[in-house]
């Protein structure tokens, strides 16, 4: 009997609700980290993009603002569950998923318009050291952040959180495209790289936006 005095009750270990609350709290930490990172990234990317006349660098900053909005939506959805329980979170999940899908569509529309404008006016970008630094940092950060968000979204079955993870994936791809475009512009003057590379992620944005908007079961 004495040997078991410090062991937690079996129900505390096996209770699925305890595990879910722990996952929800982890999701909170991921979202608040997202808010902090995206605030910095938005300021640097938009400022550098305007100075360098870079479509995709500005798009990265716009994506950061969308991710801030998405993180806010997910934080609200998670708060509902922590305060009122899982049953009350179902309606919040549906609303959050719809909003997240709409934000992905908004980002896709911006990429199309910005890329089309650049190709029509044959506008490239100037080299930007701040742009290179923020994009190179964003690639590994977004990879790790998206990977963990997807894992948590799968376990709590949240399409809204998955859509938010897709935002992080998009940010990572855009960061890679920005870095490639800046270096290509610097090396060979390839003005069109900026616009073309940004179009490469459209299918992914539209696919995930449609699934989030429709509220399809999460998560494969």
Query: Span 101-124, mean pLDDT?
Result: 77
Give Cα 64 to chain centroid, integer Å.
Answer: 8
Whether residue 219 has a cis bond before it, omega within 30° of 0: yes
Q: How confident is the model at residue 8 (pLDDT cuts 50, 70, 90)?
A: very low
pLDDT of residue 110: 78
Q: pLDDT tens digits for 70-112?
A: 888 889 888 888 887 665 566 777 787 788 788 888 878 877 8
- Under 8 Å CB-to-CB from 202, ≥6 apart: which residues? 108, 111, 112
What integer best gives the mean pLDDT of the chain? Answer: 78
**Cα(153)–Cα(156) distance, rounded to whole angstroms?**
5
Please determine, for residue 6, whether its predicted confidence score (pLDDT) is greater than 80.
Answer: no
Task: Assign domain 18-214 to its CATH architecture.
Answer: Up-down Bundle (1.20)
Maximum mean pLDDT: which of 4-8, 135-139, 170-174, 181-185: 135-139
Rounded CA gap, 152 and 34, in Å?
Answer: 15
pLDDT the model gives residue 32: 95
Taking 90 as the threshold, does the pLDDT of residue 199 lie above it? no
Domain ranges, ordered by start, for the chain: 18-214
Nearest to 21 by CA among 98, 106, 84, 81: 81
Residue 13 pLDDT class (50, 70, 90 cuts): very low
pLDDT at 136 over 80: yes
């Amino acid at each position: 009997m004495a040997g078991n005095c410090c062991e937690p009750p079996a129900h505390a270990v096996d209770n699925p609700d305890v595990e879910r609350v722990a996952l929800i709290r982890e999701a909170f930490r991921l979202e608040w980290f997202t808010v902090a990172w995206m605030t910095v990234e938005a300021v640097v990317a938009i400022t550098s993009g305007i100075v360098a006349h870079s479509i995709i660098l500005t798009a990265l900053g716009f994506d950061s603002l969308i991710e801030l909005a998405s993180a806010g939506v997910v934080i609200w959805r998670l708060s509902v569950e922590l305060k009122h329980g899982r049953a009350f979170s179902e309606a919040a999940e549906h609303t959050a998923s719809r909003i997240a899908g709409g934000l992905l569509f908004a980002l896709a529309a911006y990429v199309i318009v910005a890329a089309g404008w650049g190709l029509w006016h044959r506008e490239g970008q100037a080299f930007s050291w701040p742009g290179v630094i923020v994009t190179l940092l964003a690639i590994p950060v977004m990879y790790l952040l998206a990977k963990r968000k997807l894992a948590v979204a799968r376990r709590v079955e949240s399409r809204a959180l998955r859509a938010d993870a897709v935002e992080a994936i998009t940010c990572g791809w855009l960061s890679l495209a920005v870095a490639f475009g800046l270096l290509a512009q610097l090396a060979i003057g390839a003005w069109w790289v900026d616009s073309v590379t940004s179009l490469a992620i459209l299918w992914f944005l539209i696919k995930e936006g449609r699934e989030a908007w429709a509220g399809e079961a999460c998560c494969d």
